[in-house]
Copies of this chain bind each other. A is one copy, B any other.
Amino acid sequence: MKVGIVGYGNLGKGVESAISYTKDMELVGIFTRRNPKSIKSNIHTTVYSIDTLYEMKDAIDVLILCGGSVKDLPKQTKQYAKDFNVVDSYDIHDQILDHFNAVHQASIEGKHISIISVGWDPGLFSLNRLYGQAVLPNGKDYTFWGKGVSQGHSDAIRKIDGVVDAREYTIPMQEVIDKIKSGEDLSISNKDMHRRECFVVVKEGSDVKKIETEIKKMPHYFEGYQTSVHFISQEEMNMKHKNLSHGGCVFRKGITGSKHLFHQVMEYRLTLESNPEFTASILVAYARAAYRLANEGQIGCKTIFDVAPIYLHEENRKELIKKLL
């Protein structure tokens, strides 16, 4: 199958390398809005201007869209879904349904397949919430994120007057995880499950006390959270806070039984040295699924909930039954 990449940031680079680990995919090219000559691909993929994309339509089985969820994907996915099979990682949770509807219409019109919101949350974490609830309907689930950088929170700090650079880590409360695992039945919100640690570079002469207060009181982002703020130099920021590691876990705790009641715990955990590389690897697996669904004649928009696991793996059913079931 022949794959194209739209966008060459961290995610696009991750998709490029993830494809190199597959046996059944060929990377046709990277398509960019920038000057293609200004981009040097990590593993010598040809870089094209996005303007040439439609000319190469017949050479591409699936297009993996690697733009951002705020500005790029709401336009790009529905635009390309009409003429290509597409996969994206749209991750603004409360707007996924609108995105789904818009992309679905385009895919149906163009008789193509699209799979949206592919990643780990939304994505593999969502799947584990679904499997957990389906198997243990009498229970509760808990999702923890981190330790890892939240781009949204980092951006929010950078907008404060006097701030030059900032990095926010979301960190799950280990004591809450321990309580849940030990069987306690907690009704708690995200604010009690996570703390926030911020590293901030400020302009010389800034009032750091004021900035710290402004961060801690910021509604939605920090208010109500246990937040710590560290002021550091730009050198320290560059040296210690540029890594892209992340992770988290989903728990489902449920009770089964009639005469006797039994506690059952399902736990799913990711420990990632590179968040974008991992998300990219998931996108590539679902690109395989999109290709196979399209070959079956299916059309329209799908989510990871709609894709049977067998479509994701290189091997055929017989081998999968023998080796993995």
Contact = CB atoms under 8 A, between A and B. Distances in A.
Interface of A: 13-14, 16-18, 20-23, 42-43, 93, 96-97, 100, 117, 122, 124, 126-127, 129-131, 133-138, 181, 254, 256-260, 262-274, 277-278, 280-282, 285, 288, 303-310, 312-314, 317-318, 320-322, 324-325
A264 B272 contact: yes
Nearest to A139: B21
Contacts of A280: 256
A288 B51 CA distance: 47
A13 B256 CA distance: 11
Which of A16, A124, A127, A325 neighbours the largest number of chain B CB atoms within 10 Å of its CB? A325
Nearest to A265: B271
A320 B308 contact: no
How many copies of this kind of chain does the complex include? 2
Contacts of A321: 96-97, 100, 303, 305
A97 B322 contact: yes
A126 B305 contact: no
B126 A325 contact: yes
B256 A130 contact: no
Most buried by B among A100, A260, A266, A288: A266
Contact of A317 (B43, B268, B305): B305
A126 B131 CA distance: 14
Given A131-B309, A264-B270, A269-B269, 17 more contacts: A14-B256, A20-B258, A93-B325, A97-B318, A97-B322, A130-B309, A131-B312, A134-B309, A135-B281, A254-B281, A256-B274, A264-B273, A267-B271, A268-B268, A268-B269, A305-B325, A306-B308
Contacts of A281: 135-136, 254, 256, 264
A307 B308 CA distance: 5
Contacts of A17: 256-258
A290 to B, nearest CB: 13
Contact of A325 (B43, B122, B131, B266): B122
Contacts of A100: 321
B259 A135 contact: no
B305 A310 contact: yes
The 8 closest A-B pairs by CB, nearest first: A134-B312, A17-B258, A262-B273, A262-B274, A256-B277, A305-B310, A267-B269, A265-B271
B265 A267 contact: no
Contacts of A282: 135
Contact of A16 (B131, B258, B306, B308): B258
